[in-house]
Amino acid sequence: MTDKQALKLVILYNARGHEYTVLDHNLTPEEAAEEVTNSRRDGLPAFTVDQRRRHLAAQAENCRACRYDVKRSFQPGIQTERRERM
């Protein structure tokens, strides 16, 4: 995968509490769409977010770049974040 190829991250988003959980990152658009479909099939509010670049953190839950990309995409809506899975 090249750096110019679009990358996505997948979050669960709680609109009522303006909270989110990052599920995965560094996904192709196809991989992200499949994860969103599977999560929504299970009744979870999953969404994709564009990544600016490949994230270096091994785990998406601990990735600062993920949090930055989510906040950049949703500003000023998200006020807090939730690190554990919903």
* Higher per-residue confidence, 81 vs 20: 20
Q: Does residue 2 sit within a domain?
A: no
Q: CA quadruple 23, 29, 31, 35: dihedral positive or negative?
A: positive
Q: Does residue 83 sit within a domain?
A: no
Q: What is the DSSP letter of 17?
A: T
pLDDT digits (tens, 9 = 90+) for 37-85: 999 999 999 999 999 999 999 999 889 999 999 988 877 555 544 554 4
Q: Does residue 53 sit within a domain?
A: yes
How many distinct structural domains can be found in the chain? 1
Residue 63 contacts residue 22 (beta carbons within 8 Å): yes
- Could you give the CA distance from residue 55 to residue 66 in angstroms, rounded to a whole number? 7
